Amino acid sequence: MNLSVRYLGLDLPNPLIAGASPMSDHIDTVRRLEDAGAAAIVLRSLFEEQILREQVSAFEHSESHSESFAEALTYFPQPQTFLFGPDEYLEHLRRVKVAVDIPVIASLNGATPGGWLNYPPLIEAAGADALELNLYRLAFDHYLSGQEIEREAVDVVKEVRRAVRIPLSVKLSPFYSSLAQFAGQLDRAGADGLVLFNRFYQPDIDPETLELNRSLYLSDHRELPLRLRWLGALSGQLRASLAVSGGVHNGRDAIKSVMAGAHAVQMVSTLLQHGPERLGAILGEMKDWMAQFEWESLETMRGNMSLKRCPDPAAYERANYVQMLQGWRE
């Protein structure tokens, strides 16, 4: 049985990747993921916005009270080694690279053109095997069109593509008006892979205290169909390889994703819930399932249920919706 896949040009023994999450913050967890059979790991994103805030707040806390009172000209020691912004991330990346043999994919969330351009070469130099660009942006600006947002994103991919040689993936949200067309643009701009889809912190409202609570719910199976549909829609249409992210919780989910067209399967929630070893169990479930249903390789399975090849493409499209409604009425 052959579970090997090629994702972002990387030859992986199986499609299961630990997605970007706090799990990658700890070297021992990363090692456990490798031991469980993870084919690669994505590090938590380097958030440029966070870097900006940290630098400014560190400056504020050390400067704002200094040199104003005769007895205390400063209130803090001044460490000579200070890992700020990318340094901290790059140092961690280096340590992870030393700790494991599987490919390590870095992740970047830029906030400014400078940030998108400055950090990728540093990440490459620190030894990342690939880079996932996390194009997370909330379009709150009333005067900024979808076209402009998409053009900026494509430009980022083009620029980064020019700046580094390592493979490049783009993690997308499902909220684009013309996702297929946009995916095509990213593909042409040089993305080696697309990750479908990002999940976000969502504000929740506390009606008693009238406060917003930032929360991140773990994913469940219900999130998978949205991803299956878009994997299905894009499978076979692009040069870039595809990864699913969000909603894969067992071997069967992983199989479905591959059938929809995924080259790789990223998992976070189930691993956070059950520990890194869960990844090994899912791999086992995949193998068992493939043995039971006599599949020799994932390569032959991939995309068999895509829009292009599935027996009932209409089920992926609007008719699907109409039918379901009718079915419900009946």
Partner 1 sequence: MPQARRIVVDGNEAAAAVAHRLSEVIAIYPITPSSTMGELADSWSAHGRANIWGAVPQIMEMQSEGGAAGTVHGALQAGALATTFTASQGLLLMIPNMYKIAGELTPFCMHVAARTIATHALSIFGDHSDVMACRATGFAMLCSGSVQEAQDMAAIAHMATLRSRIPFMHFFDGFRTSHEVAKIEELSDDDLRTLIDESAIRAHRERALTPDRPVLRGTAQNPDTFFQAREASNGFHAACAGLVREAMVHFGALTGRSYDLFEYVGHPEADRVIVMMGSGAETAEETVLDLVARGEKVGLVKVRLFHPFSTDAFIKTLPQSVRSIAVLDRTKEPGAVGDPLYLEILGALREAEDDGLSMFAKAPRVVGGRYGLSSKEFDPGMVRAVFANLAEGKPRNHFTIGIMDDVTHMSLPWDPDLDIEPKDVKRAIFFGLGADGTVGANKNSIKIIGEETPFFTQGYFVYDSKKSGATTVSHLRFGPRPIQSAYLIKQADFVACHQFEFVDKVDVLERAAPGGVFLLNSPYGPNEVWDRLPREMQEAILSRKLRFYVIDAYKVAKEADMGGRINTVMQVCFFALSGVLPREEAIAKIKGAIEKTYGKRGDVVVQRNFAAVDQTLANLHEVPEPTVMTARRGRPPMVADEAPDFVKRVTAVMMAGKGDLLPVSAFPPDGAWPVATAQWEKRNLAVEIPVWDQKICIQCNQCVLVCPHAAIRAKVYDPAALAQAPATFKADDFRSKDMAGMKYTLQVAPEDCTGCTLCVHVCPAKDKTNPRHKAIDMAPQRPLRDAERENYAFFLDLPEADRTRLGAIDLKSSQFLQPLFEYSGACAGCGETPYIKVLTQLFGDRALIANATGCSSIYGGNLPTTPYTVNKEGRGPAWANSLFEDNAEFGLGMRLAVDAHRDHAMQTLAALRGPIGDPLAGEILEAVQDTDAGIVLQRERVRDLKSRLVGIESPLARRLETLADYLVRKSVWLVGGDGWAYDIGFGGLDHVLASNRNVNILVLDTEVYSNTGGQQSKATPLGASAKFAEAGKEIPKKDLGLLAMSYGHVYVARIAFGAKMAQTVQALQEAEAYPGPSLVIAYSHCIAHGYDMAFGVDQQKLAVSSGVWPLYRYDPRRVGRGEPPLHLDSGAPKTKIADYMRNEGRFRVVEKADPVRYQRLLKLAERTMKQRLAVYQQLSGITVPLFEGAGPSEGDPPGPSQPATEKH
Cα-Cα-Cα-Cα torsion 281, 282, 284, 289, nearest 10 degrees, comes to 140
Q: Give CA–CA dist 324/25, Å, rounded.
A: 43
Q: Near partner 1 by CB under 8 A, which window of 81-89, 184-192, 261-269, 299-307? A: 81-89
Q: Give CA–CA dist 305/310, Å, rounded.
A: 4
| Residue 300 touches partner 1, criterion: CB under 8 A | no
Among 1, 11, 84, 321, binds partner 1 (CB under 8 A): 84
Q: Give CA–CA dist 152/148, Å, rounded.
A: 6
Is 150 strand, coil or helix? helix
Residue 234 backbone phi and psi in degrees, to 5: -95, -20
Find the shortest distance in angstroms from Cβ 213 to partner 1: 13
Classify strands 202-206 and 211-215 as parallel, antiparallel or unpaired: antiparallel
Question: Which residue in the block uniquely carries the two structure tokens 């409202």?
Answer: 205
| Residue 277 touches partner 1, criterion: CB under 8 A | no
Find the shortest distance in angstroms from Cβ 100 to partner 1: 16
Q: Are 264 and 241 in contact (CB under 8 A)?
A: yes
What residues between 188 and 247 interact with partner 1 by CB under 8 A? 210-211
| Residue 83 touches partner 1, criterion: CB under 8 A | yes
Give whichever of 87 and 299 is closer to partner 1, judged by the CB atom.
Answer: 87
Among 2, 74, 145, 323, binds partner 1 (CB under 8 A): 74
Find the shortest distance in angstroms from Cβ 324 to partner 1: 39
Among 3, 30, 51, 154, binds partner 1 (CB under 8 A): 51
| Residue 76 touches partner 1, criterion: CB under 8 A | yes
| Residue 320 touches partner 1, criterion: CB under 8 A | no
Give whichever of 116 and 230 is closer to partner 1, judged by the CB atom.
Answer: 116
**Spacing of C-alpha 101 from chain mean position:** 20
Give whichever of 72 and 139 is closer to partner 1, judged by the CB atom.
Answer: 72
Amino acid (1-letter code) at residue 99? A
Among 77, 138, 165, 292, binds partner 1 (CB under 8 A): 77
| Residue 59 touches partner 1, criterion: CB under 8 A | yes
Find the shortest distance in angstroms from Cβ 256 to partner 1: 36
- Listed in sequence order, the DSSP H helices in the chain are 27-36, 48-63, 86-99, 113-125, 146-163, 179-189, 224-234, 251-260, 269-274, 278-292, 298-301, 318-329
Q: Are 326 and 281 in contact (CB under 8 A)?
A: no
| Residue 49 touches partner 1, criterion: CB under 8 A | no
| Residue 85 touches partner 1, criterion: CB under 8 A | yes
| Residue 22 touches partner 1, criterion: CB under 8 A | no
Q: Are 104 and 40 in contact (CB under 8 A)?
A: yes
Q: Near partner 1 by CB under 8 A, which window of 70-78, 145-153, 230-238, 302-310? A: 70-78
Q: Fill in the DSSP letter of residue 217.
A: P
Q: Near partner 1 by CB under 8 A, which window of 68-76, 143-151, 267-275, 298-306? A: 68-76
Contacts with partner 1 by CB under 8 A lie at: 26, 51-52, 54-85, 88, 91-92, 210-211
